[in-house]
Amino acid sequence: MDPSFLLSFPLLLTLLPPCSACLCKLVHPQTVYCETDVVIIVDILGPGQITRTRRNFKVNVTQVLKAPKGTSEIRYIYTPRRQEDCGYTVVNSHQSQLLIAGYLSRGKVYFTRCHLFYFWYRLTPHQQLGFQSVYNAGCDCQILPCLLCWRNCPEPDVTDCTWKQANYQETDHYKHS
């Protein structure tokens, strides 16, 4: 092979635009619930301001499932501007009953697509109950994923909970043991 090609190939690679994508690891909703500052159900009323790095949405909070004491009224939620940075984009101007988990910074709620955001009505009654009360009670429990159907699950100890998929084809329904 021609040595000039070997020397010029790395240079050509540097001229290509960088590839970026939002990658989130699979985390049990209870883990996200326990590790985030705020879990709320909102109606998105419309877009707010867009800056170079983030966008916000005007919201009406219909239910606060988790928030630190003294948290002021939440009127806007913030997310990265670009989808490649895991920012959320509203499909239509009004989305209602959206469950969002995020973190607080200077009194503002920030979230990404790697946090929770589900339509409340699409959750099963068990999942809704989890967000309303059960997940809070289980924050001391370490979730151990057991998603491989061909392998035995680890035996949990006193502080562990095994996360089993109820049906391999339905990835949004999980069973705790």
Q: Alpha carbon of 32 to those of 28, 47, 63, 130, 152: distances in Å?
A: 7, 25, 18, 12, 25
The annotation status of 22 as a binding-site residue, yes or no, is yes
Burial of 113 (C-beta count, 10 Å sphere; 0-12/13-18/19+): middle
Among candidate residues 149, 141, 142, the one with its CA nearest the CA of residue 165? 149
* Annotated binding residues for Zn(2+): 22
* Annotated binding residues: 22
